[in-house]
Amino acid sequence: MVDNVLKAEPSFCYRLPLLRYDTVASILYHEIGHHIHTVHRPVYEGKENVADDWSRKLSRRFLRRRYWYLMVFFYPAHLLLKLNKRIKKSPKRG
């Protein structure tokens, strides 16, 4: 099963440290999210939604711990993306 997941990604992704973990981590953390939802913190929403939320949380935590030195670039980029979304959602004037 892992081989099939890894075949879907282009080979250059495995040479870049940041992209190397992305595919496997998203699937692994999604499944761990199901476990957390069932055993430790049951939330009464959709099971997949809860697992996706946990996947995002765990992936962010992994990236912050593993690539802490890149946060200098990620935080400003995140703020710019957030600002861009707000601008697009705001009503047009004129």
Kindly list the domain boundaries of the chain, sorted by start residue.
Answer: 2-69
Does residue 45 register a pLDDT over 80?
A: no
Q: Which long-range contacts (CB under 8 A, 24 or more apart) does 32-36 make?
A: 32/58, 33/58
- One-letter amino acid for residue 57 of the chain: K
The model's confidence at residue 61, banded by pLDDT at 50, 70 and 90, is very high
Does residue 48 register a pLDDT over 60?
A: yes
| Number of Cβ atoms within 10 Å of the Cβ of 31 | 13
Residues with Cβ < 8 Å from 9, sequence gap 6 or more?
A: 23
Higher pLDDT, residue 19 or 69: 69
The model's confidence at residue 93, banded by pLDDT at 50, 70 and 90, is low
Give pLDDT, residue 58.
93
